[in-house]
Structure 1
Amino acid sequence: MPSRSNFIDGEWIDAESGDTFDTHDPANPDAVVGTYAQSGAVDAERAIEAALVASDEWADTPGPQRGRILSRASRVLAERKEELTELLVREEGKTQPEAAGEVQRAIDIFDYYGAKARDVGGTVKGASGPDTTLRTKTEPLGVAGLITPWNYPIAIPTWKIAPALAAGNAAVIKPATLAPGCTYEIAEALAEAGLPEGVLNVVTGPGGEVGDTIASHPDVDAVSFTGSTGVGNAVYDTATEDGKRVQLEMGGKNPIVVSDTADVAEAASIVAGGAFGVTGQACTATSRAIVYEDVYDEFVDAVVAEAEGIEPGNGLEGGEMGPQVSASELEGTLDYVTVGKQEGATLETGGDALDRDGHFVEPTVFADVDADSRIAQEEIFGPVLSVIPVGGYHEALAVANGVEYGLSAGIVTDDHTEANRFVDDIEAGVVKVNEKTTGVELHVPFGGMKASSSETYREQGEAGIDFYSITKTVYDNY
Structure 2
Amino acid sequence: MISYMHEPFTDFSRKENRKAFEEALQMIENDFGKDYPLVIGGEKIMTDEKIISINPANKKEIVGRVSKADRELAEKAMKSALTAFETWRKVNSEVRAQILFKAAAIIRRRKHEFSALLVKEAGKPWNEADADTAEGIDFLEYYGRQMLELKDGKKVESRPGEHNRYEYIPLGVGVIISPWNFAFAIMAGTTVAALVTGNTVLLKPASTTPVIAAKFVEVMEKAGLPKGVLNYIPGSGSEIGDYLVDHPKTRFISFTGSRDVGTRIYERAAIVNKEQFWLKRVIAEMGGKDTIVVDSGADLELAAQSIVRSAFGFSGQKCSACSRAIIVEDVYEEVLNRTIELTKALTIGDPANPNNFMGPVNDQQAFDKIMRYIEIGKQEGRLMIGGEGDDTRGYFIKPTVIADLDPEARIMQEEIFGPVVAFSKAKDFSKALEIANNTEYGLTGAVISNNRMHLEQAREDFHVGNLYLNRGCTGAIVGYQPFGGFNMSGTDSKAGGPDYLLLHMQAKTISEML
TM-score, L = length of structure 2: 0.90
Residue 153 of structure 2 corresponds to which residue in structure 1? 122
Q: Deviations over 1:132-187 (max 9, x none)?
A: 22220110001111111111100111111111111111111100101111111111
Q: How many Å apart are 1:374 and its aligned residue? A: 0.6
Paired letter, 1:446: F
1:278 and 2:314 aligned: yes
- Whether the 8 Å contact between 1:121 and 1:139 is mirrored in structure 2 is no
Matches within 5 A, 1:197-276: 197-242=227-272, 243-276=279-312
SS in 2 for 1:316: coil
How many angstroms apart in 1 are the aligned matches of 2:472 and 2:307? 6
- Whether the 8 Å contact between 1:458 and 1:467 is mirrored in structure 2 is no
Residue 87 of structure 2 corresponds to which residue in structure 1? 57
How many angstroms apart in 1 are the aligned matches of 2:205 and 2:102? 23
Query: 2:100 aligned to 70, 93, 100, which one?
Result: 70
SS in 1 for 2:389: coil
1:289 and 2:321 aligned: no
Matches within 5 A, 1:428-467: 428-443=464-479, 444-455=481-492, 457-467=493-503
How many angstroms apart in 1 are the aligned matches of 2:64 and 2:497? 32
How many angstroms apart in 1 are the aligned matches of 2:491 and 2:143? 24
- Whether the 8 Å contact between 1:307 and 1:363 is mirrored in structure 2 is yes
Q: How many Å apart are 1:356 and its aligned residue? A: 6.1
Q: How many Å apart are 1:461 and its aligned residue? A: 2.3
How many angstroms apart in 2 are the aligned matches of 1:351 and 1:26? 19
Q: Deviations over 1:34-70 (max 9, x none)?
A: 1012222112111111111101211101100111111
SS in 2 for 1:158: helix
Paired letter, 1:123: K
Q: Which runs of 5+ in 2 are unaligned?
A: 1-31, 273-278
Paired letter, 1:147: I
Query: 2:42 aligned to 10, 35, 53, which one?
Result: 10
Q: Segments of 4+ in structure 1 off by > 3 A?
A: none
Q: How many Å apart are 1:126 and its aligned residue? A: 2.4
When the two chains are superposed, the root-mean-square deviation of aligned CA atoms in Å is: 1.3
How many angstroms apart in 2 are the aligned matches of 1:416 and 1:45? 57
Residue 216 of structure 2 corresponds to which residue in structure 1? 186
How many angstroms apart in 1 are the aligned matches of 2:81 and 2:456? 46
Query: 1:415 aligned to 427, 451, 465, which one?
Result: 451
Paired letter, 2:147: A
How many angstroms apart in 1 are the aligned matches of 2:401 and 2:373? 12
Q: Deviations over 1:427-455 (max 9, x none)?
A: 21111111211111212532111111135
How many angstroms apart in 1 are the aligned matches of 2:241 and 2:452? 46
Residue 169 of structure 2 corresponds to which residue in structure 1? 139
Query: 2:373 aligned to 336, 340, 346, which one?
Result: 336
Q: Deviations over 1:97-123 (max 9, x none)?
A: 110111111112112222222222312
How many angstroms apart in 2 are the aligned matches of 1:254 and 1:95? 22
Residue 133 of structure 2 corresponds to which residue in structure 1? 103
Q: Deviations over 1:306-365 (max 9, x none)?
A: 11111011111121111101122111111111101112x111101101486211111100
Query: 1:360 aligned to 389, 392, 396, which one?
Result: 396
Residue 475 of structure 1 corresponds to which residue in structure 2? 511
SS in 1 for 2:422: strand
Matches within 5 A, 1:286-435: 286-318=322-354, 319-343=356-380, 345-354=381-390, 357-435=393-471
> Which shows bigger deviation, 63-72 or 79-88?
79-88
> Which shows bigger deviation, 98-107 or 115-124?
115-124
- Whether the 8 Å contact between 1:77 and 1:189 is mirrored in structure 2 is yes
SS in 2 for 1:461: coil
Residue 162 of structure 1 corresponds to which residue in structure 2? 192
How many angstroms apart in 1 are the aligned matches of 2:352 and 2:43? 32
Residue 16 of structure 2 corresponds to which residue in structure 1? none
Percent pairwise identity: 35
Paired letter, 2:248: P
How many angstroms apart in 2 are the aligned matches of 1:152 and 1:261? 36
- Whether the 8 Å contact between 1:249 and 1:454 is mirrored in structure 2 is yes
SS in 1 for 2:477: coil
Residue 19 of structure 1 corresponds to which residue in structure 2? 49
Paired letter, 2:55: D
Paired letter, 1:473: T
How many angstroms apart in 2 are the aligned matches of 1:238 and 1:439? 32
> Which shows bigger deviation, 118-127 or 176-185?
118-127
Q: Deviations over 1:267-304 (max 9, x none)?
A: 00011111000110011110000000111010001111
How many angstroms apart in 1 are the aligned matches of 2:375 and 2:130? 34
Paired letter, 2:293: V
Aligned length in residues: 473
SS in 1 for 2:396: coil
SS in 1 for 2:369: helix
SS in 1 for 2:498: helix
- Whether the 8 Å contact between 1:145 and 1:172 is mirrored in structure 2 is yes
1:196 and 2:222 aligned: no
SS in 1 for 2:482: coil
Q: How many Å apart are 1:11 and its aligned residue? A: 1.9
Query: 1:91 aligned to 121, 130, 137, which one?
Result: 121
TM-score, L = length of structure 1: 0.96
Q: How many Å apart are 1:467 and its aligned residue? A: 0.7
